[in-house]
Amino acid sequence: MSSKHQVHNLIILDESGSMESIKESIISGFNEIVQTMKGIQLQYPDQEHFISMVSFNDLETKTIHFYEPVNLLQEIDGTKYKPNAGTPLFDAMGFSMVKMKNSLAEQTDYNVLVTILTDGEENASKEYNHKSIKALVEDLKQNGWTFTYIGTDHEVENFAASISITNHMRFTKNKDEMNEMFQKESNARHRYSDKIRSKQSLTDDFYDDSKLLDEDPKDKK
């Protein structure tokens, strides 16, 4: 068994019909995340990164990747991401988070970074509700899970806070601003791995780029 510290990157991506107008930017942004994670894997050889990606609408919750090594990750295109129908956000979160939790039941040395990207609030779930998702998030946060919420076209901060997610970022459906959003997301992932390496607290400031890491005293010798 590998002695490296495992980092699981779980991406929950809205594939509802309202995402069609930004489909190309979403594909481009995800592919940028792919390259970011591959770079992080090389930069932090003491860590072993994995990717899980679930997209969702009320036609299906689709597992595009699950527990796959980052170095094997491939970029996506329009054949894998086809926005349509409604937004069962709670069901997608519950399905993917419970599946990840169960897959890690025998693991001890790991962190999980959950990224939710959506352009609207919940409107179509059948199995999970607001109360059950909030409870699940709060439980997992006690076990090395970090949650982030990226949204547009709704009250992003209020909705994220209502399900106990304090790391949030708003974007607009504008290509330049979306590029900026994905760049900020990429930078945050680097800081996250740096904090894991230096055993710093993974607190609720994931997107705060003013939180510079302290220099490791060993680096001064």
Task: Say how many C-beta atoms besides its own lie within 10 A of residue 110's C-beta.
Answer: 18
pLDDT value for 211 = 55
Amino acid in position 147:
F
Rounded CA separation 7/49 (Å): 5
pLDDT value for 221 = 34
Rounded CA separation 45/67 (Å): 18
Rounded CA separation 8/66 (Å): 10
Total-model pTM: 0.92
Token digits of residue 187: 């930078």
pLDDT value for 80 = 87
Average pLDDT for runs of 10 along the chain of length 221: 86 95 93 92 95 94 93 86 95 98 94 95 93 98 95 94 96 92 94 93 82 43 34
pLDDT value for 2 = 60
Rounded CA separation 154/110 (Å): 33
pLDDT value for 214 = 46
pLDDT value for 72 = 84
140: left (phi over 0), alpha (psi -120 to 50) or beta: alpha
Answer whether 8's CB lies under 8 Å from 52's CB: yes
Dmax (CA) for the chain in angstroms is 58
Domains of the chain are 5-200 (3.40.50.410)
